[in-house]
Amino acid sequence: KQEVTQIPAALSVPEGENLVLNCSFTDSAIYNLQWFRQDPGKGLTSLLLIQSSQREQTSGRLNASLDKSSGRSTLYIAASQPGDSATYLCAVRPEAAGNKLTFGGGTRVLVKP
């Protein structure tokens, strides 16, 4: 059974510092991996989707890498801002599961001004 882990559960950094968020998964047979942002009491906003054949995806200050064989993904956020404060969740789509996603528990990020 696929399990997705995000460590640490919470992270606090000063404004301007680069953020590094980790995601690990136990079964490398995945179709894709998706990173989401969740603000308190809100739904999820999709940030980046990496196909299993890709090594990374970039969007503005965000860069996500994928190492399928080792079961790891990392989300980098450059030059963090207070507006980046949120919970970040990763989710994998296992190969044999249609479009069902398995989520990690999230990393709660606080960027201090």
Partner 1 sequence: DGGITQSPKYLFRKEGQNVTLSCEQNLNHDAMYWYRQDPGQGLRLIYYSQIVNDFQKGDIAEGYSVSREKKESFPLTVTSAQKNPTAFYLCASSIGGYGNQPQHFGDGTRLSIL
Using CB under 8 A, list all residues that contact partner 1. Answer: 4, 6, 9, 31-32, 34, 36, 41-46, 49, 51, 89, 91, 93, 98-101, 103-106
Rank residues 12 and 51 by Cβ distance to partner 1 and give the closer one: 51
What does each C-alpha distance from 70 to 9, 10, 24, 66, 82 come to in angstroms?
Answer: 21, 23, 8, 9, 32
Q: Are 11 and 75 in contact (CB under 8 A)?
A: no
CB of residue 79 vs partner 1: minimum separation in angstroms? 26
Question: Closest approach of Cβ 64 to partner 1, in Å?
Answer: 13
Neighbouring residues of 108: CB distance < 8 A, sequence distance ≥ 6: 9, 10, 11, 86, 87
To the nearest whole angstrom, how small is the minimum distance from the Cβ of residue 66 to partner 1?
13
**Which C-beta is closer to partner 1: that of 34 or that of 80?**
34
> Could you give the maximum distance between any two Cα atoms of the chain, in Å?
44
For the chain, report the end-to-end CA distance as a whole number of angstroms.
41
At closest approach, how far in Å is the CB of 95 from partner 1?
11
Q: Which is nearer to partner 1, 7 or 79 (CB)?
A: 7
Q: Which is nearer to partner 1, 30 or 77 (CB)?
A: 30
Token couple for 89: 């969740």
